[in-house]
A and B are shown apart, each in its own frame.
Chain A
Amino acid sequence: MSEFEPKIVGFFCNWCTFTAADLAGTSRLSYPSNIKIIRMMCSGMVDPKYVLKAFLNGADGVLIGGCWPGDCHYINGNLKARRRVAMLTEILKEYGIDEQRFWLRWIAASEGTMLRDVANEMTDKLKQLGPSPFNLSSNRKDLTAMGGL
């Protein structure tokens, strides 16, 4: 049996984490292809619905990448994001989505190596945890496509 490959949806801020991913690419740092990146203008633009939709459509993990506190281009979008993540984590936990599946990380534009490390770390963690319980629920059997995002 081949190793379980988790599907991770990454909502990356255009000004920092997305640029860091770009940098990682141009610096030829390789990181797992498990992360499907969606570019956002700010981590504060990640509506909780996006995260829910990702999990409901088969994501095993969701990673939000934003600018460090103080560096958000919209002043405090990242601080709002952090509160929302805290709130949403509590809801997801109640229904079996462990907080280890839902990450918020500050990754600045220059931190290409951190992006690589976070991507590796999250992928490894999810391999340990296995498929999202939602993907194992009785209604969903063989999930091959991410779909619907």
Chain B
Amino acid sequence: MANFTKLSFKKGEMNKKLAQFFNDMMEKGVVDALLSPMTQPKRGVMQTLITDSSHLKAIDPFAPVVPLNGAKIASSITTTPSGRKLAMVLRSCEIRALIELGKLRQANFEDVLLIGIDCLGRYENLDFLTLQARGETSESFLEKGLAGDTKIDDFDICGACKICEFPVADNVDLRLCIIGGGTDSLYIESLTSKGDHALEIAGFGIGETPSSRDADVKQLVSARKLARDEGFAKYRESTHGFDGLEGMLAGCINCYNCRVACPVCYCKECVFVTDTFRHNADQYMGWADNFGTLKMPADTMFYHLTRMSHISLFCVGCGQCTSACPNSIDLMPAFRTVAQKTQDRFDYQAGRSHDEEQPLTVFENDELVEVTGQVK
């Protein structure tokens, strides 16, 4: 049974209302700390770890920007126990990535109250700053976005978000819902006993269920899936074979920003920055001899294909790789299309559940017979 609490607010006071809600949670000891997007003193919105409730008034959980996928931040503050009860406000792509990191023992959910938000998309970091400077707010964004229009002036949400079929966060204790609510209210949905308990202690009873939520979510998800399939088809058509991939990556300078930004690039030290790839001069010369030429920096294709082999099973489609590239290489479709294939092969979906084991960590004697086609 769905379990909702309604928070009504006056125009311009959504964040104030949310701050009150979290204030109650902190005052009543449900949690000791909150990780939430927060307006920064100078400019912009960043995930912020808040332990003093008097600062809550600056939180802005629905700000349409994700400067860095929060799974990385959540990992850094949960991997070793702090002994403090922590609530984290994250969106679906962050939570799905975090679930994968949890399986790799790079995140811990023990003392965590996980709070998911409905997400209509994010703007690129610089675009968001411009919009913020022009006086746009989370409320003005949500109002338009819920009406199906995410374009503000020359800016729109990024490509990854336009094809994201996960506007609603799963595997959370509480959910901050704006889809199906209306523009003057949001709903807090509890999905676990941890969530129920938190609402109860904070003094929130069960209230009204948002009437059109299910239908609205369904409609948005199916529109996004359609866009996703179209996007994938377009990408596959335009980027054919190794040659196509090489063309797409032609401007890559091996800066590795994309893997730094990727929430599921899990290696503590990337092999591409180790001595393995600090080749001797005569090796470079040898490779150049073989082909007549050697594009420098070398190993660009090797790097991207290796990254696909490492993380395509965990790719959540957040698009941070694309956002991070200083050469405007749109990596997200390359990774998402491959991820679709590798994840499907093992009937796996990154971040779908805590219990599904990562495909390369398990194996059976009598499976995947088609790989060798041999039977004894």
Partners in one complex: yes
A residues within 8 Å of B by Cβ? 48-49, 52-53, 56-58, 68-70, 76, 79-80, 82-91, 93-97, 103-106, 133-134, 136-143, 145-148
5 additional A-B residue pairs with CB within 8 Å, beyond A82-B363, A139-B295, A146-B290:
A48-B306, A87-B345, A96-B242, A134-B243, A145-B289
Q: Is the beta-carbon distance between A139 and B246 smaller than 8 angstroms? A: yes
B251-295 contact mask (Cβ, 8 Å, vs A): 1 or 0: 000000000000000000001000000000001001101111101
Across-interface contacts of B341 in A (CB, < 8 A): 90-91, 93-94
Q: Is the beta-carbon distance between A91 and B305 smaller than 8 angstroms? A: yes
**A105 touches which of B359, B363, B372 (Cβ 8 Å):** B372
Across-interface contacts of B337 in A (CB, < 8 A): 94
Q: Is the beta-carbon distance between B287 and A147 smaller than 8 angstroms? A: yes
B residues within 8 Å of A by Cβ? 236, 240-246, 271, 283, 286-287, 289-293, 295, 301-302, 305-306, 308-309, 312-313, 337-338, 341-342, 345-346, 359-360, 363-368, 371-372, 374, 376
Q: Is the beta-carbon distance between A91 and B342 smaller than 8 angstroms? A: yes
With known contacts A56-B302, A82-B363, A88–B243 Cβ distance under 8 A: no
Q: Is the beta-carbon distance between A106 and B374 smaller than 8 angstroms? A: yes
With known contacts A96-B240, A148-B287, A82–B246 Cβ distance under 8 A: no
CB closest residue in chain A, given B298: A148
**B368 touches which of A56, A57, A86, A145 (Cβ 8 Å):** A86
Measured between alpha carbons, how far is A94 from B242 in the docked complex, in Å? 9
Closest chain-B Cβ to A93's Cβ sits at a distance in Å of 7
Closest chain-B Cβ to A133's Cβ sits at a distance in Å of 5
Closest chain-B Cβ to A10's Cβ sits at a distance in Å of 15
Measured between alpha carbons, how far is A76 from B245 in the docked complex, in Å? 34
Which of A96, A97, A146 has the most CB atoms of chain B within a 10 A radius of its CB? A96
CB closest residue in chain A, given B344: A90
Across-interface contacts of A56 in B (CB, < 8 A): 301-302, 305
**A95 touches which of B242, B286, B295, B374 (Cβ 8 Å):** B242
Measured between alpha carbons, how far is A108 from B290 in the docked complex, in Å? 35
Q: Is the beta-carbon distance between B291 and A143 smaller than 8 angstroms? A: yes
Q: Is the beta-carbon distance between B338 and A94 smaller than 8 angstroms? A: yes
Closest chain-A Cβ to B303's Cβ sits at a distance in Å of 10
Q: Is the beta-carbon distance between A91 and B312 smaller than 8 angstroms? A: yes
**B290 touches which of A68, A76, A145 (Cβ 8 Å):** A145
Measured between alpha carbons, how far is A106 from B376 in the docked complex, in Å? 10
CB closest residue in chain B, given A118: B374
Can you offer 15 A-B residue contacts whose CB atoms are under 8 A?
Answer: A48-B309, A76-B363, A82-B367, A86-B346, A89-B371, A91-B309, A95-B244, A95-B305, A96-B240, A106-B374, A133-B242, A138-B246, A140-B291, A141-B292, A147-B291
Across-interface contacts of A83 in B (CB, < 8 A): 346, 359-360, 363, 368
Q: Is the beta-carbon distance between B242 and A147 smaller than 8 angstroms? A: no
In the A-B complex, the 7 residue pairs with the smallest Cβ-Cβ separation, listed nearest first, are A96-B241, A147-B290, A79-B363, A90-B341, A137-B243, A48-B309, A134-B242
Which of B292, B301, B363 has the most CB atoms of chain A within a 10 A radius of its CB? B363
Across-interface contacts of B313 in A (CB, < 8 A): 87
Across-interface contacts of A146 in B (CB, < 8 A): 290
Measured between alpha carbons, how far is A58 from B242 in the docked complex, in Å? 12
Q: Is the beta-carbon distance between B242 and A148 smaller than 8 angstroms? A: no
Across-interface contacts of B245 in A (CB, < 8 A): 95
Across-interface contacts of B345 in A (CB, < 8 A): 86-87, 90
Q: Is the beta-carbon distance between A52 and B360 smaller than 8 angstroms? A: no
Across-interface contacts of A97 in B (CB, < 8 A): 242
Measured between alpha carbons, how far is A58 from B364 in the docked complex, in Å? 33
Q: Is the beta-carbon distance between B302 and A53 smaller than 8 angstroms? A: yes
Which of A53, A95, A139, A148 has the most CB atoms of chain B within a 10 A radius of its CB? A95
Measured between alpha carbons, how far is A40 from B367 in the docked complex, in Å? 23
Closest chain-A Cβ to B295's Cβ sits at a distance in Å of 7
Closest chain-B Cβ to A19's Cβ sits at a distance in Å of 18
With known contacts A56-B301, A83-B363, A104-B371, A68–B376 Cβ distance under 8 A: yes
Measured between alpha carbons, how far is A40 from B256 in the docked complex, in Å? 30
